[in-house]
Amino acid sequence: MKSSSVSLWRERLTSPLTWHYAAFALLLVMAVGLSIRFGMDWHATNSSATDALAAKQVQMKALDLETAPLRGLDMRIADSRSQMESFYLRRIPPSYSAIALRIGELALKGPVRLSRVQYTQGPPGSDFTEISMDAGITGGYPEIMRFVNSLERDQSFFVIRAMSLTGQQGGLVNLRLKVSTWLRPADAAASGLPPTPANDAPAAPAAATSAKNAREGE
């Protein structure tokens, strides 16, 4: 009986069908192992790709925030230039004669009397050349204040540099008045005005600051 069982197992082991089953089982185990390994590799690759994509999205958002202030910069520059040109046209006199004419008109409205009027020009700047007026002014106190206020509020850009009392008689007051305005460099050069004396000319930074503040206040 025992000999018969051994023979049976030997016969089964040598049977091609048994080896086929064994080979199939081995291939099945290998396929399952490869599937598990492939799944693990896929998960790792997918996680890495997701992390890389998230990092790129963060970088894009950071770049978007950094470049946000620059968007529309060309339009803002063009708008600033347009505002500056508008200021030049409305507030900067076109010529020396226009300055003298306007000051004469305001003096008549005061009414005040101007005497010893002298116009000079400062060094030419990149945008403006300062034109200075030094004159004596005579009139009643209310009329003089009206004239000074009209200069400061006029459409043309006038800046009162100095005003000092030189005399008083009866109801009339005599003052020395220094006023500045600006012309385009070419218009100032065409005026033929003498240069402003060094001891009377305001510091260049002050003149530039006044013109800049006027532009910003418009």
pLDDT tens, 107-135?
A: 999 899 999 999 999 998 888 899 999 99
Residue with tokens 């260049």: 204
Rg of the chain taking only CA atoms, in angstroms: 46
Structure tokens at 89: 């046209």
Residue 33 domain boundaries:
2-64
- Say what the pLDDT of residue 8 is: 57
Give CA separation, 47 vs 43, 51, 187, in Å. 6, 6, 72
Structure tokens at 17: 């069908």
DSSP secondary structure of 7-37: HHHHHHHT-HHHHHHHHHHHHHHHHHHHHHH
Instruction: Specify whether 210 is located in the same domain as 125.
Output: yes
SS3 sequence of the chain: CHHHHHHHHHHHHCCHHHHHHHHHHHHHHHHHHHHHHHHHHHHHHHHHHHHHHHHHHHHHHHHHHHHHHHCCHHHHHHHHHHHHHHHHHHHCCCCHHHHHHHHHHHHHHCCCEEEEEEEEEEEECCCCEEEEEEEEEEECHHHHHHHHHHHHHCCCCCEEEEEEEEEEECCEEEEEEEEEEEECHHHHHHHCCCECCCCCCCCHHHHHHHHHHHHHHC
pLDDT classification of 17: cutoffs 50, 70, 90: low
47-51, 62-66, 156-160, 212-216: which has the minimum mean pLDDT?
A: 212-216
Say how many CA atoms lie within 13 Å of 50 toward its Cβ. 6
Q: What is the CATH number of the domain that holds 188?
A: 3.30.70.60
Is the full-model pTM beyond 0.75?
no
Instruction: Specify whether 203 is located in the same domain as 139.
Output: yes
Average pLDDT over residues 140-168: 90
- Say what the pLDDT of residue 102 is: 92
**166 or 33: whose pLDDT is higher?**
166
Rounded Cα gap, residues 177 and 166, in angstroms: 10
**Which residues, in sequence order, are bridge partners of residue 41?**
none
Instruction: Specify whether 58 is located in the same domain as 117.
Output: no
Average pLDDT over residues 162-166: 88
pLDDT classification of 197: cutoffs 50, 70, 90: confident
Instruction: Specify whether 46 is located in the same domain as 115.
Output: no
64, 82, 116 - which closes a domain: 64
The reply to whether 81 falls in a domain is no
Contact 191, 95 (CB under 8 A): yes
The reply to whether 80 falls in a domain is no
Tally of domains within the chain? 2
Instruction: Specify whether 99 is located in the same domain as 207.
Output: yes
The reply to whether 21 falls in a domain is yes
Closest-CA residue to 126 (of 188, 74, 52): 188
Answer yes or no: is pLDDT of 202 > 50.
no
Instruction: Specify whether 59 is located in the same domain as 111.
Output: no
The reply to whether 78 falls in a domain is no
pLDDT classification of 210: cutoffs 50, 70, 90: very low
- Say what the pLDDT of residue 131 is: 93
